[in-house]
Amino acid sequence: MQNLLNFIVPIAAPVEENYKALKELLQTLDGHREIFDEIGTVHFARFLFLEKDTTSTNEVYTQLALFTVYDGDFETYIDDFVVKVNDLFNALLKHLEGGEAVIPVNKNLTAFTEYVRKYDRKEEHSYRAYPNLTVQEIKAKFPTEN
């Protein structure tokens, strides 16, 4: 079964500095491709910045968003993500509001899960063409796409 995450969190103060740091960090995400392939539960994941800071003369945003479609319960595989990308999570959280309190994530898994829940917005509506197909099933049927 596919699930959605709509995680929207304020960037910690000082916002401009943290925004820049986050922007840089997100550039490195391509290097994590293989890890996400290996865990194999995420259909799509995208990070974006929201809410431009209108008071700033530079381009600065005040919120970070992560939208994903993934298979299974959040709790079932969150440990695996943490095993593989603990450092990345810690690095991101450093710049997010309230994030310091759940670092290091691998030792604060319950708090981290609650943190993600807290900033997960319920969508008003969603459409799924194939709500029951998993990443694994799709890859099994189309091995050449891997």
Binding-site size for other proteins (CB under 8 A) equals 30
Angstrom distances, CA of residue 23 to CA of 4, 45, 109, 110, 139: 23, 16, 25, 27, 31
135 forms part of the interface with other proteins (CB under 8 A): yes
Q: What's the token pair of residue 116?
A: 């993600």
Stretch that binds other proteins, among 17-25, 43-51, 89-97, 132-140 (CB under 8 A): 132-140
Angstrom distances, CA of residue 29 to CA of 37, 65, 132: 13, 15, 28
Minimum gap (Å) between residue 61 Cβ and other proteins = 32
Cα(50)–Cα(65) distance, integer angstroms:
7
Helices (H), the chain: 15-27, 33-39, 74-93, 109-118, 135-141
Place of tokens 């800071």: 53
114 forms part of the interface with other proteins (CB under 8 A): no
Minimum gap (Å) between residue 69 Cβ and other proteins = 14
Select 5 or 82, whichever has its Cβ closest to other proteins: 82
How does DSSP classify residue 96? B
Q: Which of 79, 101, 123, 126 binds other proteins (CB under 8 A)?
A: 79
Stretch that binds other proteins, among 23-31, 78-86, 88-96, 116-124 (CB under 8 A): 78-86
Which residues bind to other proteins, rule: CB under 8 A? 1, 37-41, 71-72, 76-77, 79-80, 82-84, 86, 104, 106-107, 109-110, 134-141, 143
